[in-house]
Amino acid sequence: MSATASNNAVVLLSGGLDSATVLAMARAQGFDCYALSLDYGQRHRAELAAARRVAAALGAVEHKILPLSLDAIGGSALTDRTIAVPEAGGDGIPVTYVPARNTVFLALALGWAEVLGATDLFVGVNAVDYSGYPDCRPAFIAAFEQLANLATKAGVEGRRFHVHAPLIELSKAEIIRAGSGLGVDYGLTVSCYQVDQQGRACGRCDACRLRADGFRAAGIADPTRYRA
């Protein structure tokens, strides 16, 4: 653990469209990027294969996939197979919400950052298309930054953590435009909650709708492979 300034950043990478864009942004800002994916019992495991492709394509220095049994805790349609994933969203916080997910993921990113001597974390949360997830709001990100400064050796030594959430105020179309400008190949990414083994999207779930609408609004051809 170095006490000196570091060009390293830990980037949370899900294999979806948003976090791929964030990785490209972090690289464009000159960071040496350490990509972290969590294998948390998610249904859409094709995401992890996508994360591997994206990390390689966008020049991550290292890509770690950490197994984490959130399915043992349950409570979400994304990890608990007894809860159905809805095809269209309702009001309020959806059943696809994973309890404390971003808190857990950022905490793990923070741990790796300490080991790397890094004080920069990147996360692809989005408050516009955030579907009501509480841990995608700017106030949450600010609170985590505070916590990181108190939680760590680096913080005690007077260094400041910065949790970058560059997508937080962007629409899906703006995200897609930004990423396309940075050369992100969105054909490598997976968003669908019910993607099949071949990586083909359902085209009907909330995540698919947001993504397809985003490409339409951005005026950029949608490279997603659909089943139907």
Tell me how far CA of residue 10 lies from CA of 90, 138, 178, 195, 205, in angstroms: 34, 19, 20, 27, 30
The nearer residue to a second copy, 43 or 211, going by C-beta atoms, is 43
**Rounded-to-integer distance, Cα 106 and Cα 91, Å:** 27
Maximal C-alpha separation, the chain: 55
Find the shortest distance in angstroms from Cβ 138 to a second copy: 10
**Minimum CB–partner distance for residue 202 and a second copy (Å):** 26
With beta carbons less than 8 A apart as the criterion, state whether 20 and 214 touch.
no
130 interacts with a second copy by CB under 8 A:
no
Residue 115 touches a second copy, criterion: CB under 8 A: yes
Residue 100 interacts with a second copy (CB under 8 A)?
yes
In this complex, which beta carbon is closest to a second copy, that of residue 14 or of residue 189? Answer: 14
Q: Does 159 bind a second copy (CB under 8 A)?
A: no
C-alpha closest to that of 42 among 144, 150, 194: 194
- The residues with which 32 forms a beta bridge, in sequence order, are 8
Cβ count near 93 (within 10 Å)? 11
Residue in 99, 181, 183, 223 binding a second copy, rule: CB under 8 A: 99
* Residue 132 Cβ vs a second copy, minimum distance, rounded to whole Å: 8
Residues that bind a second copy (CB under 8 A): 1, 64, 66-70, 72-75, 93, 97-104, 106-108, 110-115, 134-135, 137, 139-140, 143-144, 146-148, 150-153, 155-156
